[in-house]
Amino acid sequence: MYSYLSQDKPNRIRQSELDLAKCIAIFLMISCHCGMYFLEPDSPGALFFDLLGGEFAAPVFMVCMGIGVVFSHHNQPRLLISRGTELLLLGYLLNLIRATIPELIVRLINPSLQLFGLFPSFYMVDILPFAGLAMIVMGLFKKWRVEPAYQLLIGLLMAGLGDILAWRSTGYECSDAFCDLFWGANEWSFFPFLNWFIYPAAGVYLGEILMHCNDKTALYKRLLPIGTAGVLLAYYQMFTDYYDYYSNDGSYYFMDIKNVVYGLCFPMLLFSVCYFITEKTRLGDSRFVTYSSKHLNTIYCISWVAILWPRYFGILLAGWKITWLCFFLLLAAVFVASYGLCEIWIRFKRKRAVHKAEK
């Protein structure tokens, strides 16, 4: 169909432009989360970091997850389903550590503070539970041999269904906690499966194209203008009518099909830019970039703890007033903690593996 596609699979190794894109997305994600929880809500600074980081980070991670399934040597259905189950459970473990435990402690010290709520802080659906469900479904699709194009179509239909079901609550918090995994039954579902599955499905589709691509320059020359046009249109609509851009109810997380399509343009643009950067430099092969890409989940989990614990104990309990200087110091501290503790954890696991092997 296209001259740059081959019947063979010339690309079977890691794609350096994707590693660089994930590294940039990590920076944007941590900056976005710091802006959300260290700055005043709806302040210009918080909105800036939210609009920049939120738009790029989550779609990039999800599309990369789909691409990773295609390129992985461990993409057998059983392994994908097992990995998905681990991610799902890890998401709730992270909720417990980053939010439920500090919330409980702060409530015991000062019961009058207005906080998330103990139960919602545990069952909220962030990107890890979503990634777990998506991995399980991709494992099933792999087992049933569902073609990437059909996965993309299914994802699009799911997004439409998720938009229809948004804010439809059962009326009971326990059942809503389960429904939140699939659609936004309440405000504690940040990445409902139906609305967001199209992103890893698009990643599977793009991954197959990349694997068969014998001229990535030609591919990214096609994706770059599409991504650029979509991002410009998205930001234009965002600034002219912020709430309409984020679907009918003003929720970014329950976006409708139109805004899902806009959202897919952000990875297209970033992947294309990163490809042309890596063609001119060796930045994509640098140790820091490959390290960030390889240990994304660990950095993600640690960064959340490094952000929410200071918010609970410093801002909410101790009443810290965050100036811009304090914000940038906290932002730097979160980056240092995320990468530093990640390295400590990796070395601990290596020593443990060596110790078990010696036995």
| Percent of the residues in the chain that have a pLDDT greater than 70, as a whole number | 96
**Using one digit for the tens of pLDDT, what is the confidence trace for 218-241?**
999 999 999 999 999 988 887 777
The confidence band for 242, taking pLDDT boundaries of 50, 70 and 90, is low
pLDDT of residue 2: 66
Q: What is the 3-state secondary structure (H, E, C) of 327-352?
A: HHHHHHHHHHHHHHHHHHHHHHHHHH
152 pLDDT higher than 70: yes
pLDDT of residue 323: 92
- As a dihedral over the C-alpha atoms of residue 14, residue 222, residue 202, residue 264, rounded to 10 degrees, the angle is 110
| Percent of the residues in the chain that have a pLDDT greater than 90, as a whole number | 74
**Using one digit for the tens of pLDDT, what is the confidence trace for 55-109?**
899 999 999 999 999 999 899 999 999 999 999 999 999 999 999 999 999 999 9
Q: What is the 3-state secondary structure (H, E, C) of the chain?
A: CCCCECCCCCCCCCCHHHHHHHHHHHHHHHHHHHHHHHCCCCCHHHHHHHHHHHHHHHHHHHHHHHHHHHHCCCCCHHHHHHHHHHHHHHHHHHHHHHHHHHHHHHHHHCCCCCCCCHHHHHHCECHHHHHHHHHHHHHHHHHHCCCHHHHHHHHHHHHHHHHHHCCCCCCCHHHHHHHCCCCCCCCCECCCHHHHCHHHHHHHHHHHHHHCECCHHHHHHHHHHHHHHHHHHHHHHHHHCHHHHCCCCCCHHHCCHHHHHHHHHHHHHHHHHHHHHHHHCCHHHCHHHHHHHHCHHHHHHHHHHHHHHHHHHHHHHCCCCCCHHHHHHHHHHHHHHHHHHHHHHHHHHHHHHHHHHHC
The confidence band for 251, taking pLDDT boundaries of 50, 70 and 90, is low
The confidence band for 243, taking pLDDT boundaries of 50, 70 and 90, is low
pLDDT of residue 253: 82
14 pLDDT higher than 90: no
337 pLDDT higher than 70: yes
Instruction: Provide the CA 183 distance to its chain's centre, in angstroms.
Output: 17
pLDDT of residue 358: 75
143 pLDDT higher than 60: yes
Q: Which amino acid is at 158?
A: M
pLDDT of residue 127: 96
pLDDT of residue 246: 54
Tell me the mean pLDDT in the region 18-31.
96
330 phi, psi to nearest 5 deg:
-65, -40
Q: Higher confidence at residue 285 or residue 291? A: 291
pLDDT of residue 48: 82
Record the pTM.
Answer: 0.94
Tell me the mean pLDDT in the region 1-5.
70
The confidence band for 245, taking pLDDT boundaries of 50, 70 and 90, is low
d(C-alpha 259, C-alpha 297), whole Å: 26
**pLDDT averaged over every residue in the chain:** 91
266 pLDDT higher than 90: yes
**8 A C-beta contact, residue 28 and residue 52:** yes
d(C-alpha 237, C-alpha 217), whole Å: 30
The confidence band for 148, taking pLDDT boundaries of 50, 70 and 90, is very high
pLDDT of residue 78: 97
pLDDT of residue 132: 98
Tell me the mean pLDDT in the region 341-353.
94
pLDDT of residue 311: 95
